Amino acid sequence: ESATAFGCLMSDMWLGEFDYVSPEAFHSVFGKRYPAFSRRTQHDAQEFLICVLDDLHEAFKEVRAQLQERQSPAAGASTRSISGTSIITQLFEGQLSYAIRCLKCTGLSDRPESFTILSLPIPSTSACSLQDCLECFFQLDMLTRNNQIHCYWCGGNQDATVKASITRAPKIIIFHLKRFAWEDKNRRKLSTTVCYPINDLDLSPYLSASCHKTTEYSLCAVVNHAGDLDYGHYTAFCKHSVTEHWYSFDDAQVTKIPDSAVQADTAYLLFY
């Protein structure tokens, strides 16, 4: 099972007995469950991460439900009602609310949506900040023509506005920078420099009024992608949770790096 293989990988990494640890065993087991990732070709790190999180969630969810049933066999319905949660949802799952307002009758409706990764557009081809990407994601958008809504209040298809906000902020929030974009039916990679803070990322401007959680985050990991669409190389920067030193992971090369080196033009996934 891939969850067991992942646990073994984590144990090997934290035991500190090796200069580096190869995830071959985990990759082999995971590839059998998800054949698309078994081939030795370049894959999208964001798509891979989604599959890993979903797979671990399903495995941990089942274990949690079994443990709860053993501890309280008579719980029945209450056990089933919380069996959809896991350590993955507790750490990574947040919730958005899309406020949709009809422009004819001004009727307002909310559409909730859970997320584990926020895919942020990059609004510039030269340079921008993570806040610029967040502003673009959370800006007010118009729904017209083929995107009209069917208004519950006044009936019929109507133009509307939609604006997203965070109603539940996760403990660990993952941002996916949408570097791979379509242009004239061709896919290309955006090499835009995106400046992101290491500390004090404030998400309060994007929270709904019902969310009262502390919203300042610190960067804990970065996944980098160097190269183009057909050929590239992934590396990672991770902060040690105890020493708070940063390390670069580049295949078999694991090196300590200064905080200043964590800002990279190749950033693709950001973990806060």
Note the pLDDT of residue 263. 97
Q: Is 212's pLDDT higher than 80?
A: no
Is there a contact between 55 and 33 (Cβ–Cβ < 8 Å)? yes
Residue 83, φ and ψ in degrees, nearest 5: -70, -10
Residue that has been written with the tokens 């950001």 in this structure:
270
DSSP H or E segment with residue 176 = strand 174-177
Note the pLDDT of residue 215. 74
**For the chain, what is the total number of helices (H) and then of strands (E)?**
6, 19
Residue that wins the pLDDT comparison between 211 and 91: 91
Q: How far is the C-alpha of 138 from the C-alpha of 207, rounded, in Å? A: 10
pLDDT-derived band at 187 (thresholds 50, 70, 90) equals confident
Q: Is 80's pLDDT higher than 50?
A: no
Task: Quick: pLDDT tens for 36-49.
Answer: 998 878 899 999 99
Is there a contact between 199 and 218 (Cβ–Cβ < 8 Å)? yes
Note the pLDDT of residue 45. 95
Q: What mean pLDDT, rounded, does the chain reach?
A: 91
Least confident of 6-15, 21-30, 58-67, 261-270: 58-67
- Taking alpha carbons only, the member of 214, 109, 94 closest to residue 154 is 109
**Region 153-157 average pLDDT:** 91
**Region 88-114 average pLDDT:** 96
Note the pLDDT of residue 119. 98
Domains annotated on the chain, with CATH: 1-68+84-92 (no CATH), 94-271 (3.90.70.10)
Residue that has been written with the tokens 């995107």 in this structure:
147
Residue 121 bridge partners (DSSP): none
Q: How far is the C-alpha of 154 from the C-alpha of 107, rounded, in Å? A: 8
